[in-house]
Protein backbone atom coordinates (compact mmCIF):
# COMPACT_ATOMS: atom_id res chain seq x y z
CA UNK A 1 0.00 0.00 0.00
CA UNK A 2 1.83 3.06 -1.27
CA UNK A 3 1.10 6.75 -0.72
CA UNK A 4 3.78 8.21 -2.95
CA UNK A 5 3.11 11.84 -3.83
CA UNK A 6 0.39 12.19 -1.17
CA UNK A 7 0.34 14.60 1.76
CA UNK A 8 -1.21 13.53 5.06
CA UNK A 9 -2.18 15.52 8.15
CA UNK A 10 -2.01 13.56 11.42
CA UNK A 11 -3.23 15.02 14.71
CA UNK A 12 -1.99 13.82 18.07
CA UNK A 13 1.22 12.92 16.27
CA UNK A 14 3.73 13.56 19.05
CA UNK A 15 3.33 10.15 20.68
CA UNK A 16 1.44 6.88 20.81
CA UNK A 17 -0.91 5.96 17.98
CA UNK A 18 -0.53 9.39 16.36
CA UNK A 19 3.24 9.14 16.11
CA UNK A 20 3.06 5.55 14.88
CA UNK A 21 0.54 6.63 12.24
CA UNK A 22 2.78 9.45 11.04
CA UNK A 23 5.68 7.00 10.79
CA UNK A 24 3.70 4.36 8.92
CA UNK A 25 2.24 6.84 6.42
CA UNK A 26 5.66 8.36 5.83
CA UNK A 27 7.16 4.91 5.29
CA UNK A 28 4.47 4.33 2.67
CA UNK A 29 5.66 7.42 0.81
CA UNK A 30 3.44 10.23 2.10
CA UNK A 31 4.75 13.60 3.19
CA UNK A 32 3.32 13.89 6.70
CA UNK A 33 2.31 17.08 8.49
CA UNK A 34 2.29 16.31 12.20
CA UNK A 35 0.06 18.29 14.53
CA UNK A 36 0.08 18.18 18.33
CA UNK A 37 -0.11 20.44 21.35
CA UNK A 38 3.21 18.99 22.60
CA UNK A 39 5.70 21.02 20.57
CA UNK A 40 8.97 19.39 21.70
CA UNK A 41 7.93 15.76 21.19
CA UNK A 42 6.08 16.68 17.99
CA UNK A 43 9.12 18.35 16.45
CA UNK A 44 11.23 15.38 17.56
CA UNK A 45 8.83 12.93 15.89
CA UNK A 46 8.98 14.87 12.62
CA UNK A 47 12.78 15.06 12.79
CA UNK A 48 12.99 11.30 13.34
CA UNK A 49 10.92 10.71 10.20
CA UNK A 50 13.12 13.06 8.19
CA UNK A 51 16.16 11.25 9.58
CA UNK A 52 14.94 8.15 7.76
CA UNK A 53 14.80 10.03 4.48
CA UNK A 54 11.04 10.61 4.56
CA UNK A 55 9.08 13.86 4.33
CA UNK A 56 7.66 15.38 7.50
CA UNK A 57 6.97 18.74 9.12
CA UNK A 58 5.59 19.59 12.55
CA UNK A 59 3.24 22.47 13.32
CA UNK A 60 1.61 23.02 16.69
CA UNK A 61 -2.10 22.28 16.82
CA UNK A 62 -4.61 22.28 19.68
CA UNK A 63 -7.68 20.46 18.34
CA UNK A 64 -9.88 22.14 20.97
CA UNK A 65 -9.02 25.62 19.65
CA UNK A 66 -10.47 26.71 16.30
CA UNK A 67 -7.84 29.45 15.98
CA UNK A 68 -5.07 26.90 16.44
CA UNK A 69 -6.61 24.62 13.82
CA UNK A 70 -6.85 27.52 11.37
CA UNK A 71 -3.21 28.47 11.99
CA UNK A 72 -2.17 24.87 11.38
CA UNK A 73 -4.22 24.80 8.18
CA UNK A 74 -2.51 27.93 6.86
CA UNK A 75 0.93 26.52 7.61
CA UNK A 76 -0.03 23.19 6.06
CA UNK A 77 -1.09 24.75 2.77
CA UNK A 78 1.97 26.99 2.77
CA UNK A 79 4.16 23.89 3.06
CA UNK A 80 2.20 21.62 0.70
CA UNK A 81 -0.25 22.72 -2.01
CA UNK A 82 -2.61 19.78 -1.53
CA UNK A 83 -3.76 17.78 1.49
CA UNK A 84 -4.86 14.30 0.41
CA UNK A 85 -5.34 12.56 3.75
CA UNK A 86 -6.49 13.73 7.19
CA UNK A 87 -6.10 11.41 10.16
CA UNK A 88 -7.76 12.43 13.43
CA UNK A 89 -5.87 10.72 16.24
CA UNK A 90 -5.69 13.32 19.02
CA UNK A 91 -7.77 12.28 22.02
CA UNK A 92 -7.74 11.89 25.76
CA UNK A 93 -9.51 10.10 28.59
CA UNK A 94 -9.25 8.97 32.18
CA UNK A 95 -10.84 6.06 34.00
CA UNK A 96 -13.17 7.50 36.64
CA UNK A 97 -16.74 6.68 37.74
CA UNK A 98 -19.28 8.86 35.93
CA UNK A 99 -20.74 10.14 39.22
CA UNK A 100 -17.32 11.57 40.11
CA UNK A 101 -16.83 13.39 36.78
CA UNK A 102 -16.90 17.17 36.84
CA UNK A 103 -18.56 19.26 34.10
CA UNK A 104 -15.10 20.55 33.16
CA UNK A 105 -13.99 16.94 32.68
CA UNK A 106 -16.99 16.28 30.41
CA UNK A 107 -16.14 19.29 28.29
CA UNK A 108 -12.48 18.34 27.92
CA UNK A 109 -13.33 14.79 26.90
CA UNK A 110 -15.96 15.88 24.38
CA UNK A 111 -13.83 18.70 22.96
CA UNK A 112 -10.83 16.43 22.41
CA UNK A 113 -12.50 13.22 21.29
CA UNK A 114 -15.53 14.45 19.35
CA UNK A 115 -15.42 18.14 18.46
CA UNK A 116 -11.70 17.96 17.66
CA UNK A 117 -12.16 15.49 14.78
CA UNK A 118 -15.23 17.46 13.63
CA UNK A 119 -13.29 20.73 13.45
CA UNK A 120 -10.13 19.30 11.88
CA UNK A 121 -12.12 17.39 9.25
CA UNK A 122 -14.05 20.55 8.37
CA UNK A 123 -10.86 22.56 8.04
CA UNK A 124 -9.57 20.46 5.14
CA UNK A 125 -12.79 19.44 3.41
CA UNK A 126 -13.24 22.34 1.00
CA UNK A 127 -10.20 21.49 -1.11
CA UNK A 128 -11.08 17.79 -1.12
CA UNK A 129 -14.62 18.54 -2.31
CA UNK A 130 -13.34 20.92 -4.98
CA UNK A 131 -10.97 18.38 -6.51
CA UNK A 132 -13.28 15.41 -5.75
CA UNK A 133 -10.65 13.38 -3.95
CA UNK A 134 -9.57 12.79 -0.36
CA UNK A 135 -9.42 10.45 2.60
CA UNK A 136 -10.45 11.19 6.18
CA UNK A 137 -9.72 8.60 8.86
CA UNK A 138 -10.71 9.10 12.47
CA UNK A 139 -9.26 6.98 15.25
CA UNK A 140 -12.14 6.42 17.67
CA UNK A 141 -12.24 3.57 20.20
CA UNK A 142 -14.01 0.31 20.83
CA UNK A 143 -15.31 2.10 23.93
CA UNK A 144 -17.52 4.00 21.50
CA UNK A 145 -18.86 0.76 20.03
CA UNK A 146 -19.59 -1.26 23.17
CA UNK A 147 -19.06 1.06 26.15
CA UNK A 148 -16.33 0.91 28.77
CA UNK A 149 -16.50 0.78 32.56
CA UNK A 150 -15.31 4.05 34.07
CA UNK A 151 -15.21 5.79 30.68
CA UNK A 152 -18.83 6.77 30.20
CA UNK A 153 -18.45 10.25 28.72
CA UNK A 154 -15.36 9.12 26.78
CA UNK A 155 -17.40 6.27 25.31
CA UNK A 156 -20.14 8.72 24.38
CA UNK A 157 -17.67 11.06 22.67
CA UNK A 158 -16.02 8.21 20.79
CA UNK A 159 -19.44 6.89 19.80
CA UNK A 160 -20.21 10.36 18.49
CA UNK A 161 -17.03 10.25 16.40
CA UNK A 162 -18.21 6.96 14.88
CA UNK A 163 -21.64 8.37 14.03
CA UNK A 164 -20.01 11.53 12.65
CA UNK A 165 -17.82 9.36 10.41
CA UNK A 166 -20.82 7.50 9.00
CA UNK A 167 -22.87 10.63 8.40
CA UNK A 168 -20.02 12.59 6.86
CA UNK A 169 -19.27 9.61 4.62
CA UNK A 170 -22.82 9.80 3.24
CA UNK A 171 -22.46 13.52 2.52
CA UNK A 172 -19.02 13.21 0.95
CA UNK A 173 -19.49 10.08 -1.17
CA UNK A 174 -20.65 12.05 -4.23
CA UNK A 175 -17.42 14.05 -4.03
CA UNK A 176 -15.28 10.90 -3.94
CA UNK A 177 -14.07 11.68 -0.42
CA UNK A 178 -13.77 8.53 1.69
CA UNK A 179 -14.47 8.83 5.42
CA UNK A 180 -13.74 5.86 7.67
CA UNK A 181 -12.97 5.02 11.28
CA UNK A 182 -10.49 2.81 13.14
CA UNK A 183 -11.43 1.66 16.64
CA UNK A 184 -8.54 0.45 18.79
CA UNK A 185 -8.95 -1.72 21.82
CA UNK A 186 -6.47 -1.35 24.71
CA UNK A 187 -3.19 -0.19 23.17
CA UNK A 188 0.29 0.21 24.65
CA UNK A 189 0.46 4.01 24.61
CA UNK A 190 1.56 6.71 27.09
CA UNK A 191 -2.14 7.32 27.82
CA UNK A 192 -2.63 3.69 28.87
CA UNK A 193 0.61 3.80 30.87
CA UNK A 194 -1.10 6.30 33.17
CA UNK A 195 -3.80 3.74 33.98
CA UNK A 196 -3.32 1.72 37.21
CA UNK A 197 -1.45 -1.55 36.66
CA UNK A 198 -4.45 -3.63 37.76
CA UNK A 199 -6.53 -2.14 34.97
CA UNK A 200 -3.85 -2.83 32.35
CA UNK A 201 -3.58 -6.42 33.55
CA UNK A 202 -7.36 -6.78 33.32
CA UNK A 203 -7.31 -5.51 29.72
CA UNK A 204 -4.77 -8.18 28.82
CA UNK A 205 -6.77 -10.92 30.57
CA UNK A 206 -9.99 -10.19 28.69
CA UNK A 207 -8.34 -9.82 25.28
CA UNK A 208 -8.54 -13.16 23.43
CA UNK A 209 -5.10 -12.62 21.85
CA UNK A 210 -3.65 -12.11 25.33
CA UNK A 211 -1.82 -8.80 24.91
CA UNK A 212 -2.20 -5.09 24.28
CA UNK A 213 -2.11 -3.71 20.75
CA UNK A 214 1.03 -2.04 19.47
CA UNK A 215 0.48 1.53 18.21
CA UNK A 216 1.88 0.46 14.83
CA UNK A 217 -0.89 -2.14 14.52
CA UNK A 218 -3.51 0.60 14.77
CA UNK A 219 -1.51 2.67 12.28
CA UNK A 220 -1.55 -0.20 9.77
CA UNK A 221 -5.36 -0.11 9.74
CA UNK A 222 -5.23 3.66 9.18
CA UNK A 223 -2.84 3.10 6.27
CA UNK A 224 -5.33 0.75 4.64
CA UNK A 225 -8.16 3.30 4.81
CA UNK A 226 -5.80 6.05 3.58
CA UNK A 227 -4.61 4.01 0.61
CA UNK A 228 -6.00 3.29 -2.82
CA UNK A 229 -6.92 -0.19 -1.60
CA UNK A 230 -9.89 1.42 0.18
CA UNK A 231 -11.15 3.57 -2.70
CA UNK A 232 -14.60 1.94 -2.66
CA UNK A 233 -14.90 1.79 1.13
CA UNK A 234 -16.56 4.61 3.06
CA UNK A 235 -18.53 5.02 6.28
CA UNK A 236 -16.95 1.91 7.75
CA UNK A 237 -15.56 1.07 11.17
CA UNK A 238 -12.82 -1.46 11.78
CA UNK A 239 -11.91 -2.74 15.24
CA UNK A 240 -8.26 -3.47 16.04
CA UNK A 241 -8.62 -5.09 19.43
CA UNK A 242 -7.18 -8.60 19.41
CA UNK A 243 -10.74 -9.97 19.49
CA UNK A 244 -11.80 -8.05 22.60
CA UNK A 245 -14.93 -6.80 20.86
CA UNK A 246 -16.79 -8.80 18.26
CA UNK A 247 -19.96 -6.97 17.32
CA UNK A 248 -21.69 -6.44 14.00
Q: Check if the beta carbon of residue 85 is closer than 8 Å to that of residue 3.
A: yes
Provide the sign of the torsion angle of the four alpha carbons 227, 114, 79, 81, taken in this order: positive
| 177 CB-side CA count, 13 A | 28
Spatial separation of the C-alpha atoms in residues 28 and 227, rounded to whole Å:
9
Paired residues of 240 in beta bridges: 184
* Reduced 3-state DSSP string for 7-73: EEEEECCCCHHHHHHHHHHHHCCCEEEEEECCHHHHHHHHHHHHHCCCCEEEEECCCCCHHHHHHHH
CA trace torsion 173, 4, 80, 40 (10° rounding): 110
Q: Which residues are catalytic?
A: 154
Which runs of consecutive H residues, i.e. helices, occur in the chain?
16-27, 39-51, 66-79, 103-110, 116-131, 143-146, 152-172, 190-193, 197-206, 215-226
The helix/strand/coil state of 138 is strand
Amino acid sequence: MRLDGKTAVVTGAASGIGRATAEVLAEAGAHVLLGDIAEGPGAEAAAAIRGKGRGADFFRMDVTDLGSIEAFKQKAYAARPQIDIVVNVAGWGRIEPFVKNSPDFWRKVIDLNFLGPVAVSRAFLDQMVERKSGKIVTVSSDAGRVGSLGETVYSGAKGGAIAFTKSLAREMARFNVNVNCVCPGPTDTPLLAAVPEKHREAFVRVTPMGRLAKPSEIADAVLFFASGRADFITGQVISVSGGLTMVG
